[in-house]
Amino acid sequence: MEKKKDLRFQKTHKSIRDTFKSLMLHKDFKDISVTELSNLANINRKTFYLHYKSIEDLLKELETEIAEHILKVLHEEHFLEASYQMSDLCRAMNKILIENYDLHMRIISSDSCQFFVERVQEIIISEFLPEWKDKVKMSTLELKLIAFGTANGILSLYRMNYRRKLELSLEQIAELADKVISINNNNFSYS
């Protein structure tokens, strides 16, 4: 029987991932060791290495999973098929965030996970870039920079709300995102 279809393999794989996610709630990713993860998952290090090459390998799998989930939700919401507001994007993101709010906000808010957030952004932006390119007359570089800038601006709203315990609802953040974009669209300038 193929290793990936073996029920024991799948259960162990899930246990490793669940334990890793649990540890990420309390520790920076860089402080999680294979030994600690293995002990908490009730496996030995050798078993861990049958599933992953390293903690970074496990993190990369999690990045891909999150990015694919975001893309799925954005496609289900027909994000690119109609004229949309930035709040529409945030509402789609909110659906994902609430599924595992503490873990997702920990990842978004952790300085040590910014590379993780950037790689997820890269996957998502790369998916939509061809469609955006057809709708606007900009170079690919300009479009990418605007997409990353906008994404980072929106993420900073979530990050600030979480870190500073501002207690804004996810819906309020979505509405703020629209305000941020409309200020930019109205060529807001400082005198």
Give the CATH number for residue 16: 1.10.10
Domain range enclosing 46: 1-52
* pLDDT tens-place values along the chain, 191 residues long: 455 668 999 999 999 999 999 999 999 888 999 999 999 999 999 999 999 999 999 999 998 998 899 889 888 887 766 666 788 888 888 998 999 999 999 999 888 888 889 988 998 888 888 888 888 888 989 989 988 888 888 899 999 999 998 899 999 999 988 887 776 655 444 43
Looking at the structure, tell me whether residues 79 and 169 fall in a common domain.
yes
The residues near 185 (Cβ < 8 Å, ≥ 6 apart) are none
172: domain CATH number is 1.10.357
Question: What is the per-residue burial (b if ≥16 Cβ within 10 Å, else e) of 78-94?
Answer: ebeeeeeebbbbbbbbb
User: Domain for residue 176, yes or no?
Assistant: yes
Residue 5 within a domain: yes
**127, part of any domain:** yes
Q: Is 29 in the same domain as 71?
A: no
Co-location of 67 and 29 in the same domain: no
Q: Which two tokens stand for residue 79?
A: 């994000």
Assigned domain for 191 exists: no
* Number of domains comprising the chain: 2
- The answer to whether position 126 is within a domain reads yes
Asked if residues 45 and 38 have their Cβ atoms less than 8 Å apart, the reply is yes
Residue 84 sits in the same domain as residue 167: yes
Kindly state whether residues 72 and 24 are assigned to the same domain.
no
Q: Which of 94, 98, 189, 86 is nearest to 147 (CA)?
A: 86
Asked if 67 and 123 count as a contact pair (C-beta separation under 8 A), the reply is yes
Is residue 142 located within the same domain as residue 161?
yes
Q: Tell whether 168 is covered by a domain.
A: yes
Q: Which of 158, 146, 87, 93 is nearest to 120 (CA)?
A: 93
69 and 47 in one domain? no
